[in-house]
A and B are shown apart, each in its own frame.
Chain A
Amino acid sequence: GDSVTQMEGPVTLSEEAFLTINCTYTATGYPSLFWYVQYPGEGLQLLLKATKADDKGSNKGFEATYRKETTSFHLEKGSVQVSDSAVYFCAYMNTGFQKLVFGTGTRLLVSP
């Protein structure tokens, strides 16, 4: 069935380190892809999205490219900050459907 697989955490980095959180998906059709972030004590927030192959979503220094050939949507940031500490969820939505299918989440811990 349709699913999203993302790397297990926690991912522990020092400030200004490079971040990659891997995400792959299995889905029929041409889904839209998303990264959501959940900061401590807050609700899920949309971080970025891409709606078709080769699109790059970007926001707050984070980027992810929709790779149809590898069914991947890896999240990257060149220099993380302590304030980026949160749980990151990869998700997709299939065309014509409204529901988001989420991965299990990856906790990122950034130390000063």
Chain B
Amino acid sequence: GAGVSQSPRYKVAKRGQDVALRCDPISGHVSLFWYQQALGQGPEFLTYFQNEAQLDKSGLPSDRFFAERPEGSVSTLKIQRTQQEDSAVYLCASSLEEINTEAFFGQGTRLTVV
């Protein structure tokens, strides 16, 4: 596609429910990133993939958060047993090469945990 696509755009989950957020990066992009953006804040790094390898997951806030990119293209961010503090916009970005190339962002998935 023309840009980074994320789905769903909006997700309401009951506390304790598991959710899965999908990211379709730009075709051919090697690098893929997940960020979390709380209301009124800037995005905060969660994790980074180079192809299918997860090279940095230092930003994942707890072991309830899990990300995968099994074939080096589409990625899924899974949150288990959601909590209210997980409510945020989850942004996905991709870039063409490993370093020093522009990251293109999707529109994000707004997760609300009730």
Interface residues of chain A, those whose CB is within 8 Å of chain B, are 4, 32, 36, 41-46, 51, 89, 91, 97-105
Contacts and interface: CB of A to CB of B under 8 A. Distances in A.
Nearest to B6: A43
A43 to B, nearest CB: 4
A32 B102 CA distance: 12
A43 B4 contact: yes
A43 B56 contact: no
Contacts of A105: 40-42
Given A99-B56, A100-B103, A43 B42 contact: no
**Main SS at interface, chain B:** loop
B41 A43 contact: no
B31 to A, nearest CB: 7
Interface of B: 3-4, 31, 33, 35, 40-45, 48, 55-56, 59, 91, 93, 98-100, 102-108
Contacts of B44: 102
Contact of B43 (A44, A45, A46, A98): A44
A108 B42 CA distance: 15
Contact of B45 (A46, A89, A99, A104): A99
Q: Which secondary structure characterizes the binding site on chain A?
A: loop
Given A44-B105, A102-B42, 13 more contacts: A43-B104, A43-B108, A45-B105, A46-B103, A91-B42, A98-B33, A99-B45, A99-B48, A100-B43, A101-B45, A104-B40, A105-B41, A105-B42
Contacts of B35: 100
A89 B43 CA distance: 9
A98 B100 CA distance: 8
B59 A99 contact: yes
Contacts of B104: 43
Nearest to B59: A99
B41 to A, nearest CB: 5
Contact of A89 (B42, B56, B100): B42
